[in-house]
Structures are given as C-alpha cells and as structure tokens.
Structure 1
Amino acid sequence: PMDTLRKLLQQGNEMGGTEMKPDQPEPDEDLEAEPNSDITALVVQQPQHRRKTVIYLFLCSLLIFTTAFLLGYVAFRGSCHYCGEVGEMVPVEDKPGIDHYPTAGMYPGELRDMLKKYLQDEKIEATIRRVSRTTHPSGSSEGTALAAEILEMFKDLHMDHTWTDSHYATLQFPSRTQRNSLWIVDAEGEEMLEEIPLEDPDSYCAYSAIGTATGGLVYVNYGRQEDFDWLRSAGVSVIGCVVMMRVGGGVSYAEKVLFAQKAGAGGALIYPDPADIPQDPRRLGLNSYTAISEHVHLGSGDPFTPGFPSFNHTQFPPTQSSGLPVIPVQPISANVASKLLSQLSGLACPRGWQGRLPYVRCVLGPGFSSGDGRKVRMGVYNIMKPTLLNNIFSSLEGRIEPDQYIIMGAQRDAWGPGAVKSGVGTAVLLELARTFSHMVKNGFFPRRSLLFVSWDAGDFGNVGATEWLEVGCLLNSFLQ
C-alpha cells in the first residue's frame, strides 16, 4: 500500500501539482488491527511506546536500589566481629603476623548491656567506705597514702599505660601556731569584750587574705549582687563592716567575697543556715556546730602561676591571680552565726531573707542591741605552703583513633572524709576502669583511647586538673 501511495503522489505532481491526501479512517475503524495501512496510526503509537519504556526503567531502578540497601544493611549489621548475643563478649581471633583490629563499633544498646553486666554496685560501695574512712587533704600523709593505693589499683588492672603526673603548687592551710579567731570588741576596737569560739577550728577558706578586720556586723543574706544592691537602696552601708552571708543562693564562696569587696566590706563570715542545709542531729550529715570549708579564689589552678603549669615556681616570673580576695574570710557554724545575729539591731530583714536560725530576729545591723557601739573583730592567719601534687593516670589505647581521648576523672582529695564528693567520684572512676579493663580482656577494643585520672587538690579549685591542662596548652604553643 505504501508503494501505491508514493506512485499516486508522484503522478499528481506530474499532472499539475494536484495535492493528494490519504483517506482518513472512519471513526469506528480499528487502528491497532492494521497499523501499516495508516500513517497517522504509526505517528500516534510511537510516544505511547516511549512512556511504557520509561515506567519499566523506573521500576527496575527502584527494585535494584532497594535490594542493594537491604544487602548493605545486613552486611553492616553483621560486621561486629567481637559481638555475640546481647551482653556477650566474643574474643577476636588475631591472625599471625597481622595487626588485626575490629573496624566497626558497637551499638549503644550493646555497650550499655555490657556495662551493666560487668559493673558491680557492691564494689562501688566498698570503695566509698575505704576512701572516706578519714580526712585526706592534699599534701597530707593520708592523701599521699591514698594516692599510692589508687596507683597500685590501676597497676593491678594491667592497662596499657599507668603513670603519675606531679606538680608543685602553692596551697593555703590553717596555721598550727596561730588559730583564726573571732571577737566582740568595744567601740574603739581596742578592748576585747568577748571571744566567740570557733566550734570547728579546722575549717577555713583557702586563699583568704591574711590579717584582721574590725567593724560593725551586717547581715547580707546570700551575699549576691542583688542583695548588696538592696542594702544600698535601703540606706544600709557595708563599707568597713564585717558582712555575714549564708551558704548557697546560687553563688560560690569566691563570688560572695568578690561582691562583698566591691561593696566595700572589710571582712566576711559565711555560715550554713538550716533553711538551706538541713542540720538534724539525729541523722548523718551537717550539724549545727559544723562550718563548711571552701576556697575563695575566683578561678582554678594554682593562683600563683596563672595560665602556666606549676612545677617548682622557677620556670616563670612570680605573679598571682587577680581572682585572689583582698579581705579576710572565715567560715563559721550555724551556732556561732546564731549567737552573733541574735545581738544585732537595725532595720528588719526584707521578705525572703529570714533563715531558720533559732532565737534570731532577722535584722540587718550594723549595730548591736547593747547600744554601746561594740563591733566584731575577725582574724585569719592561714599560711601558704608549696605542696607536691600527684595526678594518677591510667589508659586503654584506642585501636582506630588512639590520639583522641575520652577522659574520665574524679577528685581524690578532701578536707573531711569526703564521702559525697571525692569518695563517690573516686569509687565510680575505679569501677569504670576495672569494668573497661575487663571488657578489653574479653575482646572489646575502644575506638578512641580511654584515660582514667585521679585528680589532686580539687578542693583548692581543681588545681591538679588545671595544672595538667596548662602543661598541654604550653606544649601546644611551643609546637605551633
């Protein structure tokens, strides 16, 4: 039929250009039955065939992608060569002559189950009791003995590396020859009218300024900036006075002293109020005759080598931190605070300043109810002492990124038994070290290095930890 059509068209052209058109099919004619008999049918069929091809290609691509994803997931899920059932360790078989380390990590759930399996609560409790059996401040014989004990415990775990990092830092301690004191004196400050015994004479504020302060006594609530601002607005001046502050209020001892200095105070007394810290004699905990020691350096590390590591004070020019206070500071017990505050006169305390000291009507001072102009005199005679600090380190080397560290540390020293602070931290640290060491012996390999550290001089403002970090910063500056 196509040849016949071409001949007819050629004849039409020869006869004068008469245009010949093929007959249009009837509407009810089946185009699919005889496609070669109609040019229009051929033109219409071609795009329909292309659409079907595109759909087939899309479905095939989707099927291939889904299959590849599932195969990849199954392959990755089974690549943990040292993980068996949940919570079970499967040792890795080392091939002779080849450094064979697993390259895949563990899922968080698997690691959590392993930690639950190997951590032992009874060991934590036993360590707390052993560490907290006596006071062990930095530089003391008890502190040195505890450091040696922890070093031996790390060595017994047979980790990859165990060592000691030592520093000489300047710490402050109470004087054994001249005790800190508190007196009520006459208006001229010359005659001692009454000595107020410090029921807890070993308590002190490390890095307090040394000397005496004499003046009226002003109650300043928590010693926050807003407390001093309120006193100023009420017309109560603290310039030259000894201020008495409660523990707490969201500010540290160092911040309280800083705000007192800025307000012009000459000295500071800090006590624990029963409203903030329960003092039930029938229970374990703080008693009404106990003061709370704390450092008052607004910063961390050795305040006499700020920004530099403390070795023996010969490598760097002598200097001191700007965060050291310039007024004397002494912690006192709730009983001593009650005795002093019960004698004050002056404006009534604003709402919210009332504590729970017994037999105390909350007034601000600075005068005494006796009306004879008596004042308070406090004396602080702490001494500075270069002290050898020992940070104890033990590490498990990472198998993939050994130069990256996860550091787990805890303060070791304590002015008292330190069960809540250093005792709990040290116990958890040692148990984590024992647990991870046991896991490594059973086939677990950490991706990054694990570093377990027992820090010294934490009660003095994280001195041990800060000095170690400053060594790293100094070395880094030399290498750059």
Structure 2
Amino acid sequence: MRKHLLTGSLILVSFLSRSQTHSLAGFSDAEAGQQLQLEKTFDGYLSAANVDSGIRIMSARPHHVGSPGDKAVVNYIYNQFKSWGYDVQLETFYVPFPTPTERLLEMTGPVHFKATLAEPPLKEDRTSGQTSEQLPTYNCWSPDGDVTGELVYVNYGIPEDYDRLARMGISVKGKIVIAKYGHSWRGIKPKVAQEHGAIGCIIYSDPKDDGYYEGDVYPKGAFKSEYGVQRGSVMDMPIYPGDPLTPGVGATKDAKRLDRKDALTLLKIPVLPISYHDAEPLLRALEGPVAPEDWRGALPMTYHVGPGKTLVHLKLAFNWEMKTITDVIAKIPGSVWPDEWVIRGNHHDAWVNGAGDPISGQSAMLEEARAVGELRKTGWKPKRTIVYCAWDGEEPSLIGSTEWVETHAAELQQKAVVYINSDGNSRGFLEAGGSHGLEPFMNEIARDVIDPQTHITIADRRHARDLVNAAEGGHLKKELFQKKTITLGALGSGSDYSPFLQHLGIPSFDLGFGGESAGGEYHSIYDSYDDYRRFKDPSFQYGVALAETAGRTTLRMADVGLLPFDFRALYKTINDYATDLMAQLDQMRETTSLTNQLLKAHDYDYAMDTARHLMPPAAKDEIPYLNFSSLQNALTLLGHAANHLADTLAKAKLSDSQLQTVNEALYRAEQQLLSDNGLPRRPWYRHTIYAPGFYTGYGVKTLPGIREAIEQRNFEEAQQQIEIDAAVLKKFAAYLSAIFFKE
C-alpha cells in the first residue's frame, strides 16, 4: 500500500511541478536564462567518480583533532583549492582536546565483570584495523573521575524519565546511571544525571534503537553490531559551543582563557559510552522494579530499573592537552560586490575515519568547488565573493567554525550575505533547514535539481515523502495535496551553522540528503569507506546531488542582482510558532487542571500515565494565563511590513548604488532578531526565534525564551520573554519598513 501511495504521490507532484515556470527571484527573465545555462554547465563538470575518490582519500586514515591524519586531510584540501585557482589561507586556533589515558568500567557486585571497551577490527572493513591511530571509545569533555556506586537504569536519561523515576520512588543521588542513546543529544544525558545528584553516567546503544532489532548488523548489514560504540562530545553546548575556555572570543594563541574549573560547559561527573555487548551484563544484574514497557529494549532479558546489589566502578583519566586546529579558507573575489560574501562550509575532522561523517559532505563540497573553478576558466566571475570553508574541530564542539566566527564577528556581520552548511550525506531525500526569509528561494533551488534515483525533482520527492508520512499518521489533509512547496526546518544545533545563525544572526542553510541509509556506523571505527560504499551511497550520486543543490544555492546567491529574501515567509513561520505556543499553553493548562481534579478525587488509575505499580503523578500548580497581546501586536506590524516590503521590491527600479544599499539592508535584516542579552542563562545564543533546546541539545526550540520558560513552568520569566520577543519583532518590523520609505 505504501508503494502504491508513493507512486501516486510522485505522479501528482510531478504534474504540479511541470506546471511551474522557471522564473528566478531577483533575476530578470534574460538573467534567469543565463543563470540556468550557467548551472547546466556547472552540472556537466560534476563527477560521481570524483566524489568517490575524495571520500576514499580523505577517510583513508583516522583524522581526529591534532592527529597526523588530520594534518594530511588539511593539506589535501588546501592543495585541491590551490590547484583550482582559489586564494587559500589556513587559519589556526589553539584549544584543549582531551583524550583518554585511562578507562575502566567494571561491575564489582553481585558478580565481577570488566567491560571490554573496544571495537574489534573486521576483515570486511579494511581501515577498521588501524588501531594505533584510532581514538579509543570515549566521550570527549568528560572530566577525570574515579567513582563507585549502585547502578540505576534511566531509559534515555532525559528530564521526563527522571520524573517517572521519582513517581517510582527511585533516586539517583550518589549513584551511577546507565542511559540509552537516542531521544536527545548525548550531552543532555550526563547533564540531567548530574542535576539529579548522580556521580557517573554510562551511555549505550540498545539494539532496539540501533542493532539487530532493526536489521542485519555490520558487516552483513548496516546496523550496529554488539561491539559498536558511538563516540562523541558531552560538552554542554546549549550554553555555548566552541572552545570551552574562550567563550565569545576566538581561541587565538594569546587569547585570555578561563581556568577549566570555571568553564560552564564542562560537566562534573565522569561519562563513558559502551557497546550493548558491555551493557548487557550490567543491565542483566539489575534488580528493583521491572522497567515500564516503553523503557524496554531488545536485549534478551527482563529490563529492571534498579538500584540494588549491582555495584559499578567507573574510572577515567584524560590528558587535557592543547591542540592546534586548522580551518581551510578558500576565496574567489567578487567582481561587482566584493565586500558581500557568500560562505559555504563543511567540517573535515572526524572521530575516526569518518567516511560518512563528515567526509561524504566534504567531498561533495570539494567537487562543487572544483566545478565552480571550472566555470571561472570559461570567463565567468561571481559578482559576490565566494568563501569556501573546511572546518576543523567540529566533532568536539563546533570549535573551528565557532572560533573563526568569534574572531571575525564584526566583519562577518558587515559582509556575510548567507552561510550554506552541509555535513554528512547519503542517499534519500533532501533535508533542508534554515532561515525562513529564504524559504521561497530554497524552493526554487529544489525545483531545479533532479533526484538521481527517481528522476523527478528533489522538491517533488521530498513532497511525496511528506504526503506518505502524513497518510500513515492519519493526518493527511486536503491542503497538503494542494501544497506545492517544501518547508524549511528550523535549525537547532549540531553542525557549523550554529555560530553564524544563532550568535551573529547571519542567514543560514543546512543542506544534505538522507533517509535511506540507516545504520550504526555513526562515530565508530566502522564509519569507513567500505561501509559507505556498501550501505550509504553506493553510486555516489547523492554526493553529486548535494553538490548540485548547494552549488546552485551558492551560485545564485553570488550572482543575483536583488537578493531573494522574502520576509512574508518568515512572518508566517513566526506567527505559526506563536500560535502553536499559545495552543500548547492552553493544552498544558487543561491537562494540569484535569489531573489535579482526578488526584484530588483519588482516581489514580485514570490519572496515572505509567504502569499501575508506579506511584501516581504529583499534583502541580495550576497554570496562569499569560498576556500575549504585545507579541500578537508585534506580529501584526511585522506582517504589514513584510507585505509592504515585498510589494515595493517587486515594483522598484533601482540604480546600482541603491541596489547595493537595499541588498545590504536585506542580508543584515536577520541580525535585528538578535537579543542584546541573549537567552536566559546562556547569553551566547542571541537569536530570539531559533536555538538548540536547553534539554534537547541538537533539537531546536522556536521562540526559545518563551517556550522553555513555559516548559520549565517559570511563568514569570515566560511573561518577561514575551515582552522581550515582542520588542525585538517590533524593531524588526520597523527595520523592514525603513528599507524603503512609504509613499
């Protein structure tokens, strides 16, 4: 049934797409024709064989921060850009990068068990045996620690799991917790455990989420084997990313640094990732209540929560050495507006070999840059300066991009028109997030790129998937069939767009393909060329599709006359966020009131949202009514301003000097959405519309100041944030209105 529905959806959206014209926002009809011909020539230069070669070469060795392999990758990228005629510079920063000197995890009771903490080489994976160059399995930024305590299973280790434990009468204070990967960014798990008094945290991947429950395991299939381990950072990046010792300023050699004990983003309890091979004996030994049904994984045993007689000893030590990280910055000067920059980036460092993350995206970006270099040989010159950036240190905490942005903040806020990011890439559907003032522009891009597997546009294929997913969820509506556009996702964190968008207010995109390449290689030694060519993108055609998509984004933004910002789309998006937020608050109020009434009547069976043997939920304070009128009024002003600006731009005949003035006002408009003081308790994040969640990490929170205050039931702060956001939006509306004087 799914196949038939998908086929019908493809036919429908393909018909709708064919009826569209090929106008390009910001280009005259003649200029649009020239631009489309340029892009056709650009496509002709792209080669899947080159994407393949780039992935194979750059993933040939482990290349984590400060390693010989990292230096080799930097040299390769630098030499490639040089050979294509770019002006290339290396920019270095000096940062701590702790790696383990000691790792010990053992169960001391009721029986003894010592974890292997190792991923075995496989004959089917040629680079998995490079043990002398591989980082061991660990969580970067864990503190040193030597702790022993009772073990408690905390499901995914997110706040609501601890609420459930509290209703069961179980405390983790003074204990070591074991949590599953998933449902939040990994750094949230030790953060929440620490807040609840735990003394250590263990994280593992359960086979129900990523393992034999999902499909055949590596090397037979793509899914995580019993020995696979996900490395990764556990720095508290929702506070700020980058070097933890130089918040807000670039980590240059002479930068003033915090003492490590004063860095707000460094946790206090030791953290270690393990395989489900090592997790099973620990979980099997647990006693206490049987875990709730939705907490149970796929290991062959009954899941208990603990605590009990299961004692665990966790000992970790790290070297805390300073390392040099190196960004590769390659430029083509603009021929008309050289001080307007279109910035394109992808990181190059990996936890081990990193064929999928990040080299698949890096290789696609290099192939894109090579093709742009070929266009220059035909006599074409971009009107705006194009800047290609290969970032180092993304994996530990977005270090290379953050330190570069913090170092050049003033210049970037003057010159950066847009930042276009990519990361890992594989076969499947277009995944696009970004600034909603450029959503119509991205729809034009997606309309003009052909999916290599289905041979329809990537917009049509994405739309077809959305239709199928809506049908399966029972929410298929008439307007979804009628919809001819894709929606940009809101950006949280987890890749290098974060400092551009959320710290400086530079319009940003995050682009990539995926959805048909699930598997368990992520941050393990098995994220290799052998794994990638078998399970991720065997033809390497989706690397070409990424180059075509991001390349068009770069070329059009570099050459367009009037920049294609449409703040009507941004207004609609923010208005939808506000409407959703008010509806969420109403729902919380109704749920709280009903639950309290049921508890007062001792109707526990109906009030409880957990198994019957658990304690009932505690009564909560009733939710007050908040005054959203100032926010609603500001949104009304913004809607009028966005409509007026769009109408004026459509009719405007601009001289060259006027065009430059208007364009600068357009690309700097998103900076007006920044808050002077930033978000509560994390001032580095200044964007009032998008931010990573304080307890989600990568996951976005929209209107984050208001939304998170409501979620945390801090209603006084929520009202304050409503007024702050209203003032920002009112200022933004006035800014848009002033781009042209009203007649």
**Other-structure match for 2:106:** 183
SS of equivalent to 1:361: coil
Aligned to 1:203, which of 127, 137, 140? Answer: 137
How far did 1:195 drift? 2.5
Is 2:207–2:224's contact at 8 Å kept on the other side of the alignment?
A: no
State whether structure 2 residue 162 is matched by structure 1 residue 239: no
1:279-300 Cα deviation digits (max 9, x unpaired): 5141255321121101111121
For normalisation by structure 2, the TM-score amounts to 0.47
- Kindly tell me the number of residue pairs found equivalent between the two proteins: 363
The equivalent residue for 1:266 is 199
Q: Does 1:392 align with 2:325?
A: no
TM-score, with structure 1 as normaliser: 0.71
Match of 1:297 among 229, 235, 241: 235
Q: 2:339 aligns with which of 403, 408, 414?
A: 403
Shift of 1:174: 1.4
Contact conserved, 1:238 with 1:265, CA < 8 A, in 2? Answer: yes
Larger radius of gyration: 1
1:30-109 matched pairs, under 5 angstroms? 77-78=29-30, 80=31, 106-107=34-35, 109=36
Question: 1:194, CA displacement in angstroms?
Answer: 3.8
Letter in 2 for 1:182: L
Aligned mates of 1:409, 1:331 — CA distance in 2: 29
1:168 aligned to which of 85, 94, 98: 94
SS at match of 1:362: coil
Structure with bigger RCO (C-alpha 8 Å, 6+ apart): 1
Per the TM alignment, residue 455 of structure 1 is displaced from its structure 2 partner at its CA by 0.6
Does residue 331 in structure 1 map to residue 273 in structure 2?
Answer: yes
Q: How far apart are residue 406 of structure 1 and its match?
A: 1.4
Cα distance in 2 for residues equivalent to 1:350 and 1:313: 53
Are the structure 2 counterparts of residues 437 and 285 from structure 1 closer, same or farther at C-alpha, using a change threshold of 3 Å? farther
Counterparts in 2 of 1:107-122, with a 5 A limit?
107=35, 109-122=36-49
Separation in 2 of the partners of 1:442 and 1:263? 63
Give the secondary structure class of the aligned counterpart of 2:98.
strand
Residue pair 2:248, 2:406 contacting (<8 A) in 1 also = yes
Q: Write the distance in 1 (CA, Å) between the matches of 2:258 and 2:206.
A: 43
Q: Unpaired segments of 5 or more residues in structure 1?
A: 1-74, 87-105, 368-372
Distance 1:314 1:218, change over 3 A: same
How big is the shift at 1:315?
A: 4.0
In 2, are the aligned partners of 1:209 and 1:326 still within 8 Å (CA)? yes
The partner residue of 1:156 within 80, 83, 99 is: 83
Aligned residues: CA RMSD: 2.3
Q: In 1, distance between residues paired with 2:348 and 2:246?
A: 22
Matched with 1:379 is: 315
Does the 8 Å contact 2:64/2:350 carry over to 1?
Answer: yes
Q: Is the 8 A contact 1:212 1:379 kept in 2?
A: yes
Letter of the aligned partner of 1:292 in structure 2? Answer: Q
Structure 1 stretches of 4+ with a deviation exceeding 6 A read 474-477
Residues 222 and 247, structure 1, Cα contact 8 Å, conserved in 2: yes
**% of aligned pairs identical?**
29
Residues 215-294 of structure 1 aligned to structure 2 (within 5 Å): 215-249=149-183, 251-279=184-212, 280-281=217-218, 282-284=220-222, 286-294=224-232
Alpha-carbon distance between aligned partners in 2 of 1:263 and 1:316, rounded to the nearest angstrom: 30
Residues 152 and 307 in structure 2, CA contact (< 8 A), matched pair in contact too: yes
- Is the alpha carbon distance of 1:289 and 1:393 closer, same or farther for their aligned partners in structure 2, counting shifts above 3 Å? same
SS in 2 for 1:216: strand
CA separation of 1:443/1:314 partners in 2, compared to 1, >3 Å: closer, same or farther?
Answer: closer
Q: Name the counterpart of 2:3.
A: none
Letter in 2 for 1:294: G
Measured after TM superposition, the shift of residue 197 of structure 1 is 2.6
8 Å contact from structure 1 (residues 218, 238) kept in 2: yes
Letter in 2 for 1:213: V
Offset of residue 268 of structure 1: 0.5
3-state SS of paired residue (1:464): helix
In structure 2, the CA distance between the partners of 1:317 and 1:252, relative to structure 1 (3 Å rule), is closer
1:111–1:287 Cα change, 3 Å: farther
Q: Which amino acid aligns with 2:387?
A: L
Q: Secondary structure in 1 aligned to 2:408?
A: helix
DSSP-derived class of the 2:351 partner: coil
Indicate the residue corresponding to 1:370 in structure 2: none
Partners of 2:223 and 2:243 in 1: CA distance:
31
Contact 2:327 2:390 in 1 (8 A): yes
